[in-house]
Amino acid sequence: IVDDVPFELEQKEYDLNGMHVLVVEDNKINQVITKKMLLKRGIGCDIAENGLEAIDHANRNQYDGILMDIHMPGISGVEATIEIRKFDRQTPIIALTAISLDDSLEAFYAAGCNDVVTKPFKPEVFYQKIGENFLENKQKKSAS
């Protein structure tokens, strides 16, 4: 029976080209790395450097998804997600976090995050989560 249990994530190849996402990240180096990873797969992005900017961008623009850093000065990613969910319940949000002992995955989901990717992350996991959450959501919306 144990042989039937898959231990690997089922890798699905997603065509992410043409998507547009919001990256919420206060660390300049992480901004550059994340943007390069997105551009490598044809994904355009806007960058918000803090929670307040994230709320403003999300309110004024339509995104295929939001990549939300959790630990930021001022308004945290959790607080920003709660605020965004007050006016946008549809856009998928993935929490990007270097999990610490103070973090609770339940709190991320309770705030309105659709998924969590822990830093440092493998590119294939990063793209997989974007495909699962952003692309599949976009396809569902265009089908309805």
**Per-residue H/E/C for 44-72:** EEEEECCHHHHHHHHHHCCCCEEEEECCC
What digits encode the pLDDT tens for the residues 91-113?
999 999 887 666 688 899 999 99
Find the length of the chain.
144
Tokens linked to 36: 């390069």
In whole angstroms, give the CA distance from residue 114 to residue 66.
10
What proportion of the chain, given as a percentage, has pLDDT over 70? Answer: 89
- pLDDT beyond 90 at 78: yes
What pLDDT is recorded for position 137?
Answer: 76
What digits encode the pLDDT tens for the residues 106-133?
899 999 999 999 888 899 999 999 999 9
Extents of the domains making up the chain: 17-143
- pLDDT beyond 60 at 9: no
pTM of the model: 0.88
Quick one: CA torsion of 48, 50, 52, 57, rounded to 10 degrees?
A: 10
What pLDDT is recorded for position 120?
Answer: 87
Residue 77 near residue 50, CB atoms below 8 Å: no
Tokens linked to 122: 């493998």
Does the N-terminal peptide bond of residue 120 adopt cis geometry, omega within 30 degrees of 0?
yes
CATH classification code of 17-143 = 3.40.50.2300
Residue 135 near residue 19, CB atoms below 8 Å: yes
What pLDDT is recorded for position 142?
Answer: 73
In whole angstroms, give the CA distance from residue 4 to residue 90.
35
